[in-house]
Amino acid sequence: MRKVCVVITARASYSRIKGAMQAIQKSPDMQLQIVVAASAMLNRYGDAYKQIEEDGFIINRKIYSVIEGENPIAMVKTTGLGMIELVTIFEDLKPDVVVTIADRYETMATAIAASYSNIPLAHIQGGEVTGNIDEKVRHAITKLADLHLVASEKAAARIIKMGENPEHVFVTGCPSIDLASRAIMPELDFDPIEKYGGSGEKQFKPKDYYIVIQHPVTDERELARYQVTETLKAMYELGKPTYWIWPNADSGSDETSKGIRVFRERYKPKNIWFFRDIPSRDFLKLLYHSTGIIGNSSVAIRECSYLGVPAVNIGSRQSGRDRAENVIDASYNKESILAAVEKCGSMPRIQSTLYGDGNASERIAEVLRTAELTHTKKLAY
């Protein structure tokens, strides 16, 4: 039986891989191992490990590896500590293949620990292009990986141009699209405030609402507070009901969080309700029934393309990422954001399969079940 070890380091990583984990778990030929680390273990970023357990998965190992600071030094030290912990866990679990997801800095620890342990590495969502350090991390992991499970033909072409063997590159689609396909329903079946709490001036139950997710940009962290304040000003002036999701654990998130708290205390916006986190199983439903999403999260580019949800993408965080017709770009300026949101409100909903057709999880599981596993790479130079 092939032992497949999935390492989850952030709430977004879990939403990206959940469907594939379910498919792996169902296979009689594979044993699923789960390691949870970094911000996925922390309360202030949504207790992702609890969501994993609530979904019926058994976590084999948990790692507390986040160094406080949310700055470049803390990111590097978190990566280093992750490597130290993971290499010991891999020695204990002895997986046949390690799976790492996307491009966060914690994933670099997984890739290095597996590679130097001579364990084949499978990488989900390689070959994509974005506008910050995540792209460097993503491409570095590509060169460390032995199997490439990519979302699109364009991503596959980029990886092959990087010298990877085409026989090791598989276009599966993005497993997060599989979750998005299940979120399409005629009516929202829960009240997010009743279910997840959060904070705001009053409990409102809007018929039409926007969602905002804005993370700091790692190489623009000194601008993080200004950037989030401009978005806050825009949504406050717009006056439309808004559900705002807290940022992730990147360098600069302290300033982003501070900007939110200061604005909230000073202006007490009655139209904005703030959540620490909403699990993907409900977040995607909430997203589907929204008027649109504003911010710089990849969910606006990826899942929203399939759902057809209009998206205002702010700033450089997603620069270069392949996108469908649902996306409007704006700069970190209140007027620019408001102009884009106005267009967003009248956009038609057009579903795109740019990032997948909703069947990626089974394809990924099949590749992991049948692919020849070797740590010695044959590059196609």
Residue 178 reports pLDDT greater than 90: yes
Torsion angle of the four alpha carbons 9, 275, 304, 282, in this order, in degrees rounded to the nearest 10: 80
Any idea where the domains of the chain sit in the sequence? 2-174+357-370, 182-344
Comparison of pLDDT for 133 and 90, the residue scoring more: 90
Residue 379 reports pLDDT greater than 80: no
CATH topology for the 182-344 domain: Rossmann fold (3.40.50)
% of the chain surpassing 90 pLDDT: 78
Asked whether this chain's domains 2-174+357-370 and 182-344 adopt the same fold, the reply is yes
What mean pLDDT is predicted for residues 143-168?
96
Report the predicted TM-score, pTM, of the whole model to 2 decimal places: 0.88
Q: What is the pLDDT of residues 117-146, one digit of tens each?
A: 999 999 999 999 887 778 889 999 999 999
Q: What is the pLDDT of residues 248-259, one digit of tens each?
A: 877 788 899 999
- CATH number assigned to the domain covering 2-174+357-370: 3.40.50.2000
The predicted pLDDT at position 203 comes to: 67
